[in-house]
Amino acid sequence: MSKIEQAKSYSGKELETIFFRPMLTGPDAEALGIRVLYNMPVPTTLNFWRRSNDILQKYTAAGWSGGAPADKFQKTIELSKVKAEVGYSAADYFTMVFELISNRSDVNLDDLSGTELEQAETALFKQAIAESIRATMWLGDTSRESGLNTFNGFIPRILADAAIPDAEIVSSTYDQTFLDEADAGETLLKKLWDDAPVILKEFKSQGELVYLVTSDIYSKYEDALDRATLESAYQARQNGRESLSYRGIPVIDVQLSSYLASLSDLPKSFALLTDRRNLALAVNTADFPGTEVRMWYNPDLMENRQRAIFMAGCDYLLPELLSFASFKDATE
């Protein structure tokens, strides 16, 4: 066997249970540091509740004098219809799929069933789609000629809104040379916290605040931790750290450096302090006609092809729950 010819197609319930839901739920989704809304009713609405500060009242023997309800904030996430298409030569495709299968200990390589091939093909395509969604979610701009332009991402939205006069977003811009300082990472995280709106700081006790930073800032902060003269810091230098936090708030590397290097319209580095419930990615495969995932072999070109059609979009809800910093070259 040197090629895979069996066509596969997912639609309806299979599209959700086999392909998208496993990709958009669980630990991988949580590691993004945001909310992921999958197949929520259309129009997809981002909701945020803020409880009332004082609901206690003086007791009376009878009657009802209920107070004001909790504050509710809503914003509709605009979904865009997107298409993912990938083509591989038959030989390359078989090699990639076979490698995924051979890495499993429970597979009989002398008797590969259609189910095993299908699982490997699905895994290959899911990885590509998940990464494309993730990058577009952060950096997408529909006005861009090419590359990450299927829907608008968080960073272009925040930059555009922060440029509006009297914007409620706390935003600062620094020269890229700021990151050359030894303690730049820790200094920046502290400044984001110090400059954050009071309402954002008040949400710290709920355990949902998160720093979302580019890899260079993450690395700078880790360097600062390595310089600490403690036995724990010495051990961490040798063994590495599974995760970082600052003042009890997780610090997450958004891992976008390779994309930012090729996008001249965006800063090369940024850091964001927010409540993870304030940012949301929405994906829908249930409420629009034509959504599908298809994988087939084209004998004329000896090429294996994969295609997915679905809806996706993202947005943030409250600007007062953002503390943002971006960096530009001194020559800009």
pLDDT digits (tens, 9 = 90+) for 19-29: 888 888 777 77
pTM: 0.84
User: What b-and-e string marks burial along 196-222, b requiring 16 or more CB atoms within 10 Å of the CB?
Assistant: bbeebeebeeeebbbbbbbebbbebbb
For residues 231-252, give the mean pLDDT. 76
Task: Please check the confidence at residue 278 and state whether its pLDDT lies above 80.
Answer: yes
| Distance between CA atoms of residues 268 and 261, nearest Å | 7
Confidence of residue 218 (pLDDT cuts 50, 70, 90): very high
212 contacts 137 by C-beta, under 8 angstroms: no
22 to each of 25, 87, 301, 303, how far by Cα in Å?
Answer: 6, 23, 32, 27
What's residue 238's pLDDT?
58
pLDDT (tens digit per residue) in 122-181: 888 888 899 999 999 999 999 998 889 999 999 999 999 998 888 789 999 999 889 888
| Distance between CA atoms of residues 274 and 318, nearest Å | 10
Task: Label the pairing between strands 303-316 and 249-253.
Answer: unpaired
Where do runs of H (alpha helix) occur along 149-287? Answer: 154-162, 184-195, 198-202, 215-226, 231-239, 257-260
The tokens of 331 are what? 């020559």
Within a 13 Å sphere around the CA of 312, how many CA atoms are in the beta-carbon half? 27
